[in-house]
Structures are given as structure tokens and as C-alpha cells.
Structure 1
Amino acid sequence: KGRASFVHSLIMEHMGEFESKRACSIKAYRTYGMTVKAKLYTDDDTDRYFHVYYKAKKQASERARLEADLDRMEAEMDKIKGREYKLPKRYEHYFKLTYHKDKFYGYEEREDVIERELQLCGYFAIVTSEKMTASEALNLYKSRDISEKLFGSDKTFLGNRSFRVASSQAAEAKIFIQFIALIIRARIYTLLRKRKAEMPGKPNYLSVPSALKELEKIELIRQPNGNYKLDHAVTAT
């Protein structure tokens, strides 16, 4: 995230250089990005590539979340004034807290901290050792992120919430089949996403469930001579 300590100074340094440049636009994700070569840490012998990104939609949601958090913390602190209470360290990051003999008495906003974090909303970075463009790095990250989310949600669309098997051997077999199914599903998703990027509109049949429903319409029937033929012609979709 843009507020991470090892990238926020780099983002602040290059802020305003790429956020509106069409040459820096990554249209597939409605994101703007640029690449900067720098050291990851002081004693690093290798040059790293910092891909810095800005997304307006992300900025709006992060600012709203941060301001809601600040309002919630202030409301919580107003409730406990004059009481013995030790607030978490997260509160100290955004507020100067006043205590007297273990009693909480008041707070004051750290305006410089809050203003800096508001400025950094909507920014994020990817660091690579290999040389690549900001667009290539984001595409690579998104494809790996999809795989992780896919495995995280396999119980949703593969029935992995409950196994309903009678033995450990059957459970292993079921997990193995689900693993293969996830690979196939990920491949279908990747191909559909590429196809969607090539098309001017966004047809609703290019999601995985919709595509599978379309494929289920393709049926073969066996003829008396033993040959197979399509039951009906393949639709344009």
C-alpha cells in the first residue's frame, strides 16, 4: 500500500508525475503507473524496480475508510475521557494522547500524519527484481492474486465446505479432483479475460459460470452407424 514505510517517500517524490498521463494508463484496470529504479534497503547491492500506481476509485474508498476510522476513534475517546483506560498504539499514531495517573484526559490530532496518509490514498506499489514495465508487473500480480483467491474460495463453488465422504482415501481423491478442477477453472477464467479485453463491449456471457452454461448446450448424439454428430449447430455466442 502507498502508506507502507519503504515506499511512501518514493511515492511522495514522484507524486503528480504520472497520475494524468495517458502514456501511463493501464486501461484494463483503470490505473496509472510508472516504474522507478531504486534500492530496496540501504545495503542492497541489486537495483530493484519500484512500480508505483495510482487509482482514483481506490483513492476514494481508502479516504472514506480512513476518515470513518478517525471518526470512530474520536467517538471512542470521547466516551472514555476521565476514566482509567489504556488505548491501543494505533490511536497514538493518529493522535497525541494525554494521560494523568493512568486516567485518559484528552487527545489532539497529529495533523501532519493524517494529511500525509490522506495524500497517499489511492497509491500502491509492486517491487520486482526483474526489469519490466508497470503494466507487465500489474498483470503478473493480478494473475497470481486470482490464483490465491481461487484456492481461498474453492469451498464456495466446489463444495469443499463439507466433504461428505466415508474415508480418508475418498477425501484425498475428492481433494485431488477439486485441485484439477481449479486448474481448469483458472485457465478458462484467464482465456475469458483475454477475450474480454479484445472486445469493445462487456458481454455478460464471458464469466466462468455463464461460459460453462453456454458450453453445456453443445451435445453430441450417436448415430446408428456408430459415428457422432452435433445435436444442433453451435450458436454464435
Structure 2
Amino acid sequence: MVAIVYQTDKRSGITYAYHSVSYWDKEKKQSRARRTLIGRLDSATGEIVPTDGRNRKKHEDTVSVNDRPDAPAMSHRSFYGATYLLDAIGEKLGIAQDVHRCFPDTYQQILSIAYYLILEDSTPLYRFEKWSTLHKHPYGKSITSQRSSEVFATITEEAKQRFFTLQGKRRLEQEFWAYDTTSLSSYSETLRQVQYGYNKEHDLLPQLKLALVFGQESNLPFYYRKLAGNILDSKTIRHLLTDLDLLGCSRIKLVMDRGFYSEANINCLYRDHVKFLMSVKMSLSFVRNELDGIYDTFRSFEQYNEDYELYCRTVRTTWKYAQKRPYKGDTLQEPRRLYIHYYYNIAKAAEDEQAFDRRLLALKQELETGERVPEHEKLYQKYFLIRTTPKRGTHVTIREEVISKARRYYGFFALITNETMDAVTALELYRTKDVVEKAFGNLKERLSMRRALVSSEQSLDGKLFVQFVALIYLSYIKKQMQVKGLLKDYTLSGVLDKLDLIECFEQPGKALRVGEMLDAQRQLYLDLGIDPPTSL
């Protein structure tokens, strides 16, 4: 029989924990016990701290996530296939090593919570204890809700920045980085950054924002930042560039949507020699002016791309760069090279025009019936001539010139960049930005971030970081599934559930044994770029 016994040293007052294995002594014909030192009992936390018997913690020679605080005290069978996958991914991407270096005292708890968030799909953290008894995981023990909050509170800003730096160095500097923000609603009245602002999901709750940077080729995130909920996207660029510079990132290339456009931001990107690709509104005067010069010949056969069913044209122009120089008391102005890539979609143009006509018809009926909507007054004045007489009532006439001008740019969209590339390459690169949108979906749905269900700043910051770590694992798996064509036959949950069925058997003093594995399960590991598990 295996048990853990405690004994207090009367001289030092330290309580030591031992593995006690009972056996029958045939010579003395009595029960005996063999004891093996585990460590000392921490009176504050009740946890066993590994030691060599002289109150010194054992030195860790490896950072493998499979290292447990203590050996199994009894025979134990647990689910292993999915957590083994995460172990292997963590080693391959350097996540386990980087978390260990930045959080040496809590790295196993952080990884185990991240595993739980990935595998349990939105299940509350108070269910961790049940999951822990059924699965082999880095920490190897249960984590209560209170303990998880304590772990979150130990995650400092300095340690997070160090983790971002380590992960950033593992990414390709030559690749473009997709950058975007999302809103996270919250019921909390104590979180300082929870504010009312524009919510992309049209949620009426106050919110905070999360900014995320993804590698365009690796499809892996390596940086995030929490923002107040009322901050506009266009106000975040300067701070982003400063943060990336502090992290040691060079040769920065960003892909962004049109919410980040402003003259100040473009000037800032030029000033810092940052390559960028950005969507812009067709209502911008310089975008329309350049298009007007090629408008009549835009839809020529030579400009049609069959793969995307679009007409594509590129115009090289100049950006009027301006930089205020306080030390000289003047403003530097000079031209900078800029490319505008234009695209025209016939189906989208027809759809937009039809929707516009429906809107005009509804506005006209409002005017003629006298049921005017106060919020529509500017539209009435813009698109109609309105005459009202006592005999004939209200007579409404369309402003044809204004209507024609509005329809002129339907079906068009544009990208701007300071990097030399053709229109199709720019479009393909911009569409990889969808990886950020999918990541936000993973955060909100699978990693339980649709609502920020925490009440303190420390808990929020710590939980966000652990969810970010979990997101790196999820992003790798989804990228591999896409590359190998697994999305045709599996969902992400389906893959994890299929592997989760594989068991392992642990026994004191014995090597770990892996249970039966199907050929289909073995192939899933190989498709995900991981060697299948084997008995040790």
C-alpha cells in the first residue's frame, strides 16, 4: 500500500512529506514500511515543496511540461492523448520553455489551466478539479477556483513582456503581421477600462478592447494588449509601434483594416519606416481622384482575374508626408511613394445598387406620407428636392446628379501600401488577416472570453494572458488542419475529442505506458506535425 506520511523535525520545526510503501517482512514476520522523501510541507499553501532534505529545493534539469511536482503515489489511469498533443506542440513552438522562463514558480499551473480552456470548450474553471482527476497534465494536481485566481494575480506585466519578446524572436521577421482589435463585453463596474464604445458585435454592454498581432505566415499570435473600451482603432497605432520597438521587433510589416486609417497614422508608419498594407474607404478624396483617372478603362478584359472574379488595377501615386519637428519649430513635408490597389466586383456593385435603391424608395415614401424620421433629415436633403404646397401637398424629386455620383463607386474597394507588389498579391496578403478574426472567435467562444467574468484588474490581466497562451496552441492546430485538409472531415473539437480517448497508465517506480491507439488517431498526430505518443 502506498501513502504519504508527514513528520516534523523537532529541531527545525520543518514538516517533511514521505512516500510510504508498506510490505511484509518474512524474517521478522511483521509489517514494515519503506519511506522516500518527497519534500517539505509549505505551511502557508499546504503544498509539498520538493527538497533534498536540507531545506533546499531540488534543481530542475529540464523544462519539459511532463515534469510533475512528485511521482505518482499510486497506480493511476488517465486520459492522455489530447494533453500529450499540447505537450508536444508546446515543446515544438517553445511555448513551454518560454512560460517556464518567465513564470518559474507557476508555469505548470499556467499550462494546465491553458490545456483545460482548450479541451473543455467554455466550461467554467470551477470544473477543473473533475477534469484534473481524469487527465494527465503538466501540474498533475487539482487547481481550485481560488488557486487559479492566485495564479492569475502572480502574472506580472514585466513577465508578460518578457514572454512576448521570447515568442516574437521565434517568429519570422520578414513576414507581414496582421493587426486588429475586438471588443469584450463586461458586467463589471470595478474594471477601469470597461467603457461604452463602438461594439463590433453591436452588444449594448460596456466593454474593453483587445488588440492582437498575428504572424501572416506562421498564423501564430505573439503579442496582445488590453485597451479601454472607448478607444478608437485609429488611436492605437502609435502605441503599437512603440510596444513592438520595446520588444526588439525590427523590419515591421503590418496588415490592417480601414478602421486604422488616418493621415496621422500613415505619416507615423512612414516616419518609423514600417511597411504596411491597409484597406481604405472609397470616400477618401485621394482614392477617388486616382480611380477617376482610370475609371473608363477599368473593366477591360486584361484586368480581369478569373480566380477571384474581380477586375484589378494598381496605381502608383505619392503620399504628402508631413512631420512636425518641435526641435526646429517647423513641419517637414516631402512626397513618399504609395501604391493604391483597386478592385471591382460586378456582383457586389449590383447588390449595393439594389440596396441603395430600396433605401431611396423608403426615404421617398417617408417624405410623401409625412412620416419623416428625424435621424433621416440629412439624407432627405442630400438626395431629394422637396416642395410642399397647400393644394398639391409634398412633391419629391430625385437629385439625379447626386444619386449618380453615389452609384459611381459601388462594387469598388481599395488597398494602399508602401511595399511594391501587384494587386493580386496584395489581395491575397490582405485576406490572410482573417486569421485574426478567427482568433477572436476562438477567444470568445472556445476560450470563454465573450464576457469578461472577473471582478479585479489583476485577475483580468492574468486570465487574459493564460487565454492568450491557449490561443497559440489553438492557432497552431487550426493552421495544421487547414494545411492538411482535415477541416473537410473534422472540426477542431472533433480532432481533440478523438485524441483525448487515448489513455496512459502510471505506476510508482514504473515507466509510463500508453494505451491502445487506432491508425486514424496515429495519422492525426502525423498530420498535425507531431510524433504519436509511445510508452516510455
Residue 232 (structure 1) aligns with: 518
Q: Superposition pairs for residues 39-78 of structure 1, below 5 Å?
A: 39-40=318-319, 45-78=335-368
2 CA distance for matches of 1:194 and 1:15? 39
Is the aligned partner of 1:119 residue 2:403?
A: no
Q: Distance in 1 between matches of 2:495 and 2:356?
A: 43
Q: Does 1:108 align with 2:397?
A: yes
Q: Distance in 2 between matches of 1:68 and 1:128?
A: 35
Within 1, Cα distance between the matches of 2:405 and 2:344? 15
Consecutive aligned runs of 4 or more in structure 1 exceeding 6 Å deviation: none
Spell out, residue by residue over 1:171-226, the C-alpha distance to the aligned partner (whole angstroms, 9 max, x if none): 33322222233444445555555666xxxxx96347xxx14413432354336752
Greater shift in the superposed pair: 29-38 or 90-99? 90-99
What is the TM-score of this pair, normalised by structure 2?
Answer: 0.35
* 1:90 CA drift (Å): 3.0
For residues 346 and 520 of structure 2, the distance between their equivalents in structure 1, rounded to whole angstroms, comes to 42
Q: Which has the higher helix share?
A: 1
Match of residue 37 from structure 1? 316
Identity of aligned residues (%): 26
Query: Who is 1:221 aligned against?
Result: 503
Q: Determine helix, strand or coil for the equivalent of 2:488.
A: coil
1:45 match: secondary structure: strand
What do residues 89-122 of structure 1 show as CA deviations (whole Å, max 9, x unaligned)?
233332234579xxx9543212122123323211
Unaligned runs of 5+ in 2: 1-280, 322-332, 525-536
The letter of the residue matching 1:222 is C
Match of residue 293 from structure 2 = 13
Residue aligned with 1:108, SS:
strand
SS in 2 for 1:120: coil
* RMSD (Å) for aligned C-alpha atoms: 3.9
* The structure with more radius of gyration: 2
Please state how far the C-alpha of 1:147 moved relative to its aligned partner. 1.6
**Corresponding residue for 1:79?**
369
1:174 paired to 2:458? no
TM-score calculated relative to the size of structure 1? 0.71
Contact 2:319 2:335 in 1 (8 A): no
Query: CA 1:191/1:71 → structure 2, altered by over 3 Å: closer, same or farther?
Result: farther
SS of 1:37's partner is strand
The structural deviation recorded for 1:37 is 0.6
| Residues 1:94 and 2:94 are matched in the alignment | no
Give ranges in structure 1 of 5+ residues lacking alignment: 197-201
* Greater fraction strand: 2
CA distance in 1, matches of 2:461, 2:355: 42
Secondary structure at the residue paired with 1:126? strand
| Contact 1:36/1:51 (<8 A) preserved | yes
Deviation at 1:124, TM superposition (A): 0.8
Q: What is the CA–CA distance in structure 2 between the aligned matches of 1:216 and 1:20, rounded to whole Å?
A: 51
Q: Which residue of 488, 512, 521 corresponds with 1:204?
A: 488
